[in-house]
Amino acid sequence: MKVAILAHGKFPDRAKTAVGVLRYADHDVVAVLDQDAAGTRATDHVPGVQDAPVVASMDDAPDCDELIVGIAPIGGGFDESWRPDVRTAIERGCDVTAGLHYFLADDEEFARLADDHGVALNDVRRPPEDLTVAEGIAGDVDAEVVLTVGTDCSVGKMTTTMELVEAARERGVDAAAVPTGQTGIMIEGWGVAVDRVVSDFTAGAVERMVVDAAADHDLVVVEGQGSIVHPAYSAVTCGILHGAMADRLVLCHAAGRGAIHGYESFALPTPEEYVDLYEDLAAPVQGAEVVAGALNTKDVDGDDAAREAVDEFGAAIDAPATDVVRYGAEEILEAVL
Amino acid sequence: MKVAILAHGKFPDRAKTAVGVLRYADHDVVAVLDQDAAGTRATDHVPGVQDAPVVASMDDAPDCDELIVGIAPIGGGFDESWRPDVRTAIERGCDVTAGLHYFLADDEEFARLADDHGVALNDVRRPPEDLTVAEGIAGDVDAEVVLTVGTDCSVGKMTTTMELVEAARERGVDAAAVPTGQTGIMIEGWGVAVDRVVSDFTAGAVERMVVDAAADHDLVVVEGQGSIVHPAYSAVTCGILHGAMADRLVLCHAAGRGAIHGYESFALPTPEEYVDLYEDLAAPVQGAEVVAGALNTKDVDGDDAAREAVDEFGAAIDAPATDVVRYGAEEILEAVL
């Protein structure tokens, strides 16, 4: 499938979904829309992903089947400056996929236009209607369950999840990812955006996915969200921790991050404090150990400094650590198997 | 206002809302509906609350203005065995108020009947439409903020909240409760059922209520929900903890409770472990200390044994403790002021 990805003003550093789709999805990306970077190419900004031209608007994008909204601002609203591109996409016969809290299908203009042009509006953050509370049974599944947990948002939990599943499959392990956020869902084609469900059903939504994935796979890697000490999103993190009832945790962190992104008055605890926080909180429901660390070193200059940062992080959490984008996820795989 | 309260098969021990309304609301309760206890009186089961006859069905209830659904099963569904009573209430011209996840107003039959008879269906668990993510600002309010936290569901967080506010008012302190669950909302006439909001907005919903209450009051007591290690509901608990950014915590527990209610394979941590779990998890967002304990001793036989249980609980958490129903909330008030 040919897709264009909207990422105005945010590509690549604030466009997690765009980068995730470029890196992991099976789609053929024909263009990234970012008026601030028009004329460049995706790989000018993010080495190692599939390449695509960056263009200023949907008018400049080649033929494609779908427009993906590849950015999600805090709060998940729809930015009205995106409206002309979404409109153009629909008029050109493209489906539109988004993971916002604001549902495109509930937008009067988009719903009418989509109807006129026979295209679909896919709101991947819309939860299933039949969710309910957790039963506390995810710990009973017949599979190894691993959960990626983080020190903050945007530190690499989704990336670590995807890389770990890929590394396991290369080793011949029957592994599955459990996507809990919009990007993972767009990449894997299933999942529930756990931050959008009724709060009472947070753990239940995760439990159901773990049970489903474990029925057919030997290793289940659950994509974590947020951070257990995030002033806004910790509820989601906590629900995933207790709903997944993982056997092992992988702690994800971004090198140099000292405060909560977007909430800079809140300093991050140390990595070792995070280990205690996650393990202590998991224990009464299901004991789980932080067995590995994933450090995102994209903002670290040079391989030597990156290596050093990874080693320091591993020493701090007293577990093997790596940067899954630079070095792959084999070390983490070793630690979880 | 005259109200009847539906509590079939659950009054009083599994009918938190019914008991809460009997104990704290300004309503005149004309009947409790429980076919298993028909012919008895409310105070035969719960001493110290307003009295009312227990009847088998709405057909046997005296004239009233409203039927309150006073029970909420795990999952918050509507039990079809309640339908005849709700139907009768509407046909008799009563409003119907419920705090279920299942919304009465979305039930075709009830909606049509309510329309025919000109009565209101109040679903107090329906969240406001304009909620969003927390900004992390509840710590900046100009009021003392106290949060009741629990070792489990149904241990007395709502009761402790109400008793503490009442004790503060009696002392001349300008105090307000922040209701976060259906019973508190029915009693206070405002609030948000935090377990029903979009999970990403959990902390945000609480933050907004704390900011609003703190604008007009000197002491704000936030009603906690669930438990930080509950296999199903911990997400809500965690969101309230970080959204409220309380200065002080009151730990609520039920004497003799050894396992999570309804999830009996999960043992409760010790009271001192709960103190650490709550304080450690609060600290990175806003340091908060457990300054008092509230032990629910309703299942303890005799005053001496209750006193002993309270003293033991206080020693375990190293803070003043009481049973707010037996002894009032003055000791807790001393500790939070």
Instruction: Encode pLDDT of A108-153 as tens digits.
Output: 999 999 999 999 999 999 999 999 999 999 999 999 999 999 999 9
pLDDT in tens, A14-41: 998 999 999 999 999 999 999 999 999 9
Cα–Cα distance list, A244 to A212, A220, A247 (Å): 12, 10, 9
Chain B residues lying within 8 Å of A279, measured CB to CB: none
Chain A residues with CB inside 8 Å of B132's CB? 75
Peptide bond into A53 cis (omega under 30): no
* pLDDT at residue B222 tops 90: yes
Helix (H) or strand (E) holding A304: helix A303-317
Q: In the predicted model, what is the mean pLDDT of chain B?
A: 96
Paired with A41 in beta bridges are A53
Q: Answer whether residue A311 shows pLDDT above 90.
A: yes
The reply to whether residue A228 touches residue B281, judged by beta carbons under 8 angstroms, is yes
Evaluate the CA torsion angle A161, A101, B185, B43 in order and state its sign: negative
The pLDDT value given to residue A165: 98
Question: Smallest CA–CA separation between A28 and chain B, in Å?
Answer: 32
> What pLDDT does A73 receive?
81
Q: What is the pLDDT of residue B330?
A: 97
Residue B72: predicted pLDDT: 82
Both tokens of residue B217? 């009051």
Chain A residues with CB-CB distance to B280 below 8 A: 276-277, 280
Distance of alpha carbon A34 from alpha carbon A214, whole angstroms: 39
Report the alpha-carbon distance of residue B333 to residue B291 in Å, rounded. Answer: 10
Q: Check CB contact under 8 Å for B277 and A281.
A: yes
Question: Are the CB atoms for B199 and A196 separated by under 8 Å?
Answer: yes
Percent helix / strand / coil, chain B, rounded to 5: 40, 20, 40
pTM score, whole prediction: 0.93
DSSP reduced 3-state for B188:
helix
Instruction: Chain B: give the shortest CA distance to residue A148, in Å.
Output: 17
% of chain A at pLDDT higher than 90: 96
Q: Which of residues 265-304 of B touch A (CB under 8 A)?
A: 265-269, 273, 276-277, 280-281, 284-285
- Residue A150, helix vs strand vs coil: strand
- pLDDT beyond 80 at B71: yes
The percent of residues above 70 in pLDDT, for chain A, comes to 100
pLDDT computed for residue A133 by the predictor: 94
CA B95/CA B320 separation, integer angstroms = 43
- Whether residue B331 has pLDDT greater than 90: yes
Question: Running DSSP on this structure, what letter comes out for residue B75?
Answer: T
Q: Do B200 and A232 touch (CB under 8 A)?
A: yes
B99 touches A at CB < 8 Å: no
| Predicted confidence (pLDDT) at residue A330 exceeds the cutoff of 90 | yes
B29 forms beta bridges with: B3
Residue B240: per-residue pLDDT: 98
Compute the average pLDDT of residues B121-139.
95
Q: What is the mean pLDDT of residues B15-19?
A: 93
**pLDDT at residue B75, as a whole number:** 76
Q: Is the pLDDT of residue A323 over 90?
A: yes
Does B236 touch chain A if contact means CB atoms closer than 8 Å?
Answer: yes
| Structural contact between residues B11 and B33, judged by C-beta atoms closer than 8 angstroms | no
Kindly determine whether residue A232 and residue B196, on different chains, have CB atoms separated by under 8 Å.
no
More confident residue, B66 or A74: B66
Query: Mutating which of A74, A196, A200 best tests the B interface, going by the most B Cβ atoms within 10 A?
Result: A200
> Quick one: pLDDT at residue A62?
97
* Identity of the residue numbered A27: H
The region that residue A245 occupies, defined by phi over 0 for left and psi between -120 and 50 for alpha, beta otherwise, is left
pLDDT at B74 over 90: no
Strand runs (DSSP E) across chain A, as ranges? 2-6, 28-33, 54-55, 66-69, 95-98, 121-123, 144-150, 175-178, 219-222, 248-254, 259-260, 263-267, 289-296, 321-322
**What is the rounded distance in angstroms from the CA atom of residue A164 to the CA atom of residue A146?**
10
Question: What is the per-residue pLDDT across A264-284, written as a single tens digit (0 to 9) for each?
Answer: 999 999 999 999 999 999 999
Cβ pair B199:A203 closer than 8 A: no
- Which pLDDT score, from 0 to 100, does residue A22 have? 96
Q: Which of A183, A172, A313, A176 is nearest to A250 (CA)?
A: A313
Say how far apart CA A278 and CA A2 lie, in whole Å: 40
What phi and psi values does residue B293 have, to the nearest 5 degrees?
A: -125, 145
pLDDT value at position B276? 98
Chain B residue with the nearest C-alpha to that of A269: B284
Query: Does A202 reach chain B within 8 Å, measured CB to CB?
Result: yes
From chain A, pick out residues whose CB is under 8 angstroms from the CB of B75. Answer: 132-133
Q: For residue A253, which of A122, A177, A159, A127 has the smallest C-alpha distance? A: A159
Nearest chain A residue to B282 by CA distance is A229
Residue B101 with chain A: CB contacts under 8 Å:
198, 200
State the best of B153, B196, B200 to mutate against chain A, taking most chain A CBs within 10 Å: B200
Predicted ipTM? 0.93
Position A112 scores a pLDDT of 98
Token couple for B79 = 């039990």
- Of the candidates B75, B231, B277, which has its C-beta nearest A242's C-beta? B231
Do the beta carbons of residue A201 and residue A237 sit within 8 Å? no
What is the pLDDT at residue A288? 98
Average pLDDT over chain A, rounded to an integer: 96
What's the pLDDT tens digit per position in B30-63? 999 999 999 999 999 999 999 999 999 999 999 9
SS3 (DSSP) at A330: helix
Examine the pLDDT at B172 and tell me if it is beyond 80. Answer: yes
SS3 B330: helix
- Shortest distance between the Cα of B232 and any Cα of chain A, in A, equals 5
Place of tokens 């969710």: A131
Interface of B with A in 44-83 (CB under 8 A): 74-76
Residues A231, B242: C-beta atoms closer than 8 Å: yes
Please report the residues numbered 175 through 194 in chain A whose beta carbons come closer than 8 angstroms to any beta carbon of chain B. 194
- What average pLDDT does range A47-65 have in this prediction? 96
> Nearest-CA distance from A67 to chain B in Å?
25
pLDDT tens per residue, range A175-190: 999 999 999 999 998 9
Verify whether the Cβ–Cβ distance B234 to A203 is below 8 Å.
yes
Find the CB nearest B134 among A197, A232, A243.
Answer: A232
Q: Which residues contact B258 (CB under 8 A, 6 or more apart)?
A: B267, B268
| DSSP state string for B3-61 | EEEE-TTTTTTT-HHHHHHHHH-SSEEEEEE-TTSTTSBHHHHSTTS---BEESSGGGS
Task: State yes or no: pLDDT of A74 exceeds 80.
Answer: no
Rounded to 5 degrees, what are φ and ψ at A111?
-60, -45
Largest CA distance in chain A: 59
Start-to-end CA span in chain B (Å): 35
Q: Do A238 and B233 touch (CB under 8 A)?
A: no
Report the pLDDT averaged over residues A50-64. Answer: 97
pLDDT value of position A175: 98
C-alpha distance from residue A267 to each of A152, A235, A259, A270, B78 (Å): 10, 18, 4, 9, 44
Q: Name the strand (E) or helix (H) holding A101.
A: none
3-class SS at A178?
Answer: strand
Are the beta carbons of A133 and B232 separated by less than 8 Å?
yes
